[in-house]
Chains A and B, each alone.
Chain A
Amino acid sequence: MRLESTQPSTDQLLHQIRKGDRLFLRQLYEENRSAFGVWVTKNYQCDEDMIADIYQQAFTTLYYNVKEGRLVTLTSSIRTYLFAIGKNLIRDHIKITARRQEILEVAVEMNDVDNSIIDRYQQSAVKTTVSMLLNRIGEPCKSVLELFYIKGYALDAIAVEMNYSNENVVAKRKFICLKQMRELLAEGTPGDEI
């Protein structure tokens, strides 16, 4: 089934993403995947793994732009938007590859540092800590935080799922849970920052 055949407006589609509807997200992913592959193959020299990688990055960008309110409405279709992100990512990739090639061709200076690796390790340390805190925090905080941050549910969807009266109650609860996490962090690693 094609998305267009159900004819929801683009704003309705964005609303579905905002709500955190995973099934819809999967459908959106699948509906655009093959056309994306065709388009990239036609325009750029990329292998299958790279196409999948770029598509996933484009899809992640679309998802977070919607979830974090940077993309509220669209004049084009979601597909066009997704492809536009993909195009930028490919161009960046091409630039980075060319730059890496340049670096390989000249002598590497001793003080050259790959910041991306450092960032990745730091991020990884934060993730491990937060993951441990999540396991210690207990209910209902564990579920509230997991639903909001990890599964991408909107506040009103969490209210329905967890029987809270409305999204304001969920927002308040979420903040209390974050504070509890901070307290756990202070107990476990006094004086440390993550």
Chain B
Amino acid sequence: MMEENTDRIIEQYLSGNLREEELEQFKNTLKSDQRLARRVKDLQAIESGLHALGMDHLMQDMKKWEKDIKLSQPPVTAWKKYLAVAAVITLILVPAVYFFTSKSPTSEELFLAYYEPYEEMLISRSNTSDSLGILLAAGLDAYNRGAYQRCTDLLKSYLQQQPEAYRVALYLGIAQLEIDQKQSAEKNFLLAQNDPAFEQQAQWYQALSYLKFGEIPKARDILQSISTSESHYRKDQASDLLKDLH
């Protein structure tokens, strides 16, 4: 009976299901009972070996999937004697084939290719000695952790109390973009453009937001303006993205 109970506790310990107080108690028992500690250690080692085999299995599967993806791409012929003929045929056919069959990247794929969250640089400067400062610090901390829903809740509340904290609107907009709150994100990117220090960043993310939600003409307008601007920090990327959009 006692053995059964020990087994139950070991089983729950290994699967991480022991309650906090039981866990503490069990850890203390392990310190004083070397035989039990050895038993648990062996079981953990066996589990870790099994997990390692599982990881190997997944890696093998992924290698196979990778190979299948490569195989599904059209092969490249190396027959030199056909190259000249092929070149001529290609010249004639490519525009037509391209027109009918080319698969341009979707706006979502382009969004993913160009998007990454703006690095947060405010937290070190925020004053955490008052409740507003704490709210801002918590919001930016959530942003840094990628907890975008939490970040949205906190920064929204901060902006309600500090409506002219335009730079905070940029981070809020990005968090909202992450959780697909399209309209709020766009509203905040517009708001953030009131801060000259963050205007360019807000423009760039506004364009990406349009791209993410498939509003290509709006995205194109902003990208056009960024790419023709003299000193925009995303000038080159905007030009590349415009080319990819064609």
When distances are taken between beta carbons in the complex, the residues of chain B under 8 Å from A175 are 7, 10-11, 14
Measured between alpha carbons, how far is A182 from B65 in the docked complex, in Å? Answer: 35
State the CA gap A87–B112 with chains docked (Å). 12
B70-121 CB contacts (< 8 Å) to partner A? 105, 108-109, 112-114, 116
Give the CA-CA distance A130 to B55 in the complex, in Å.
14
User: CA–CA, A153 to B10, complex, Å?
Assistant: 22
Taking a contact as CB atoms under 8 Å apart, the answer to whether A22 and B56 are in contact is no
A-B contact count (CB 8 A): 119
> Scoring A residues 128 to 146 as 1 if CB is less than 8 Å from chain B, else 0, what string do you get?
0111011000000000010
Cβ B69 vs Cβ A33 within 8 A: yes
Min CB distance B147 to A, Å, is 7
Question: Chain B: how many interface residues by the 8 Å CB criterion?
Answer: 46
Of A55-63, A94-102, A106-114, A156-164, the one touching chain B: A55-63
Closest to B178 in A: A76
B46 touches A133 (CB 8 A): yes
User: With an 8 A cutoff between CB atoms, is A194 at the interface?
Assistant: yes
Consensus secondary structure, chain A interface = helix
Q: Which residues of B contact A4 (CB under 8 A)?
A: 108
- The listed residue with most A CB atoms (<10 A of its CB), out of B7, B16, B105, B112, is B112
The stretch of B36-44, B187-195, B216-224 that contacts the partner chain: B36-44
As a 0/1 sequence over residues 118 to 135 of chain A, the CB contacts with chain B under 8 angstroms (1 = contact) are 000001001101110110
Most buried by A among B66, B114, B148: B66
Minimal Cβ-Cβ distance residue in A for B146: A84
Task: Give every chain A residue within 8 A of B197 (Cβ-Cβ).
Answer: none
Output the least CB separation between B41 and chain A (Å). Answer: 7
The answer, yes or no, to whether A104 is at the interface (CB within 8 Å) is: no
A1 part of interface (Cβ distance < 8 Å): no
- Residue A30 lies at the interface, judged by CB distance under 8 Å to chain B: yes
B24: CB under 8 A from chain A? no
- Residues of A contacting B62 in the complex (Cβ-Cβ under 8 angstroms): 29, 56, 59-60
Is B45 close to A, CB under 8 A?
yes
- CB neighbors of B among A22-75 (8 A): 22, 25-26, 29-30, 33-35, 38-39, 42-43, 52, 56, 59-60, 63-64, 69, 75
Known contacts A59-B62, A123-B52; 12 additional CB pairs below 8 A are A26-B61, A43-B116, A52-B66, A75-B149, A76-B148, A126-B49, A131-B49, A145-B50, A150-B53, A151-B57, A182-B42, A194-B45
